[in-house]
Structure 1
């Protein structure tokens, strides 16, 4: 039975550092791009032992988050080469063996799958991941999925020939997966949608429509996460979002934003007064491990714009590219900083 979250609950965006015995981190860093197609060479464990090794790494991630004091945890995404390709490449209608080359969010040539037929989900993709997490923690459990808008931007469409139609097809697949994940024990389901702010014109036309379709019939807490990219891949970040107020019209209960590294003007949160805000208060671009007081100060800044009942505290983004020791230290500071502000509010 999951325990209830306190005021100002702490969580993670999704990923946690994968152990060096599981993945070759040099390949991740050398590529300096987030893989959209398979990157099998990243795994250091033979195929016949890989699932067991990923299970063991998942247990490490779960225990680290629990030891750090995080209230709402994930499986650390230990089984994923990237936040999106595990789900994206499991769908029908996608040619992953003959990828196209496109310019990624940061202008780098990136191999991506080609859509050559109707996008359909054959079977649950992350259901076992969720069941494993649920069976191995008594904390509230969250799992992440790539959002339909972002999925549509990470493929070359040779079938639908219509951007919105492609996004809505992905939304159908995401919705089916999200419902299965909820049934498997997910307390929170998060859609990762970094491309909303990278392609604001298309996002304004059909981004919210696709998200709402993907969350249709999904009960409980749902989140849409926006960010400017992993700190290890993107060092220069804008100080504002090109697409954010529009999410007030989305079906998501929470909106997750990166705020610490880009030093975001938190005044924009007033545009989302109907949502709970998952606020990034850990700068993952800094090698410094924040003190609890630094985290508390960032939480207090958020509370100037959002009441405590509508604020969830988190890192800016996923922690996949960080050294494990630094990631754990930052999460511990997050839990301790939130505890400081909770005591202040209790007065």
Structure 2
């Protein structure tokens, strides 16, 4: 019998201090060459052990083998110049130095497939792998070739689909596409964002998920959240289209946010990864707080479709805080399982 309320994290966990500078996004590697390859695998083993010791049911790589959730994938594509960067505004919120599309983009070789095979060998539990979504990729670089966000997104979707098919063959059970941009560019999401995402999942038999959050707990994102008012209703703009899409699962930011939980009703029937851990604070939730978020969600999602999760990745947090949050997530889900069993 399938376990109720299978727990997981969205993506990243803090990296060990010997691999990269801690509590910092996009942090450069401290190792190089063969030592870097070995160091990444060691970090992946640690990430796996911490998830298993915390009682998580679906395991991921903690993004230990990549520097950034978007650009690491883009680095392996042709047609992108990483030397002559440009400054762009990402998600309409903060400026960053990004690579430039200078020619046709295409996937030359597998990007994460060997890492996924390595993770698959380490655990018998279901594994999940995160890829950047096409729209978020478009929003994380400067396009000097296609001059069209939509055209570039379709090209990225083709490359993502090639990678996703190989990840599936490597034994990945859930492929998650990270699309924080979906919370910002509503018209584009509905015009072509969902369509390009469906291209990225074309022909897959494994489960597919889209992760739509309000971003890492960094200052630019936290400042933006303060401007959103007492109710964050961004999901309302895109859920109807997602509801009609072929995506199996939707990963949401729910805990410690101002998202009205009843919006989940708009995706009734989909599996929902309910974010029950706030990654924008160092305070570790109590299991009861996690359980309370899950109870509220259960009014709008059937229990067999509820997957307790974190709001977003935990790369900027300390390892102790992240570890505490993992345990709180597992223990909170167990409270609800016991309530249902009685």
Question: Does the alignment reach a TM-score above 0.5?
Answer: yes
Q: Is this contact kept in 2: 1:261–1:316, CA < 8 A?
A: no
Which consecutive segments of 4 or more residues in structure 1 shift more than 6 A? none
Which one of the candidate residues 31, 42, 45 is aligned to 1:56? 42
Question: How far is 1:108 from its partner?
Answer: 2.8
Partner of 1:74: 60
Structure-2 residue corresponding to 1:345? 340
Cα distance in structure 1, aligned partners of 2:246 and 2:85: 33
Q: Is residue 179–residue 218 contact of structure 1 (8 Å, CA) maintained in 2? A: yes
Write the deviation string for residues 103-124 of structure 1: whole angstroms up to 9, x where unpaired.
Answer: 1225332111111111110011
Task: Quote the offset at 1:201 in angstroms.
Answer: 2.1
Query: Aligned partners of 1:268 and 1:107: how far apart in 2?
Result: 24
Q: Residue 244 of structure 1 aligns with which residue?
A: 238
Tell me the SS of whatever aligns to 2:130: strand
Q: Please show how residues 212-291 of structure 1 align to structure 2 within 5 Å.
A: 212-233=198-219, 234-236=221-223, 237=225, 238=228, 239-241=232-234, 243-245=237-239, 246-291=241-286
- Hey, what's the Cα distance between the residues in 2 that align with 1:110 and 1:303? 39
> Of residues 127, 132, 143 in structure 2, which corresponds to 1:157?
143
Output the CA distance in 1 between the equivalents of 2:146 and 2:109: 22
SS at match of 1:83: coil
Contact 1:8 1:312 in 2 (8 A): yes
CA contact (8 A) 1:284 1:317 kept: yes
- Show the counterpart of 2:80: 94
Question: Does structure 2 retain, via aligned residues, the 8 Å contact 1:295–1:337?
Answer: yes
- Secondary structure at 2:162's aligned position in 1? helix
Cα offset for 1:258? Answer: 0.5
Unaligned runs of 5+ in 1: 29-33
User: Residues 303-347 of structure 1, C-alpha deviation per residue, up to 9 Å, x if partnerless?
Assistant: 011110111100100111111111111111111111110111122
How many residue pairs match? The answer is 333
Q: Which residue of 2 aligns with 1:31?
A: none
Partners of 2:67 and 2:206 lie apart in 1 by: 28
Q: Is the 8 A contact 1:72 1:141 kept in 2?
A: yes
CA distance in 2, matches of 1:330, 1:107: 27
Q: Give the whole-Å Cα distance in 2 for the aligned partners of 1:190 and 1:147.
A: 9
Superposed, which structure 2 residues align to 1:1-347 within 5 Å?
5-25=2-22, 28=24, 35=26, 42-105=28-91, 107-233=93-219, 234-236=221-223, 237=225, 238=228, 239-241=232-234, 243-245=237-239, 246-347=241-342
> TM-score of the superposition, structure 2-length normalised?
0.94
What secondary structure is seen at the aligned counterpart in 2 of 1:44? coil
Deviation, 1:66, is 0.1
SS of 1:247 mapped into structure 2: helix
Q: Deviations over 1:118-163 (max 9, x none)?
A: 1110011000110011001111101100011111121222222222
Taking only aligned residues, the RMSD between alpha carbons, in angstroms, comes to 1.5
TM-score by length of 1: 0.92
**Counterpart Cα distance in 1 of 2:83 and 2:280:** 34
Preserved CA contact (<8 Å) 2:210 2:250: yes
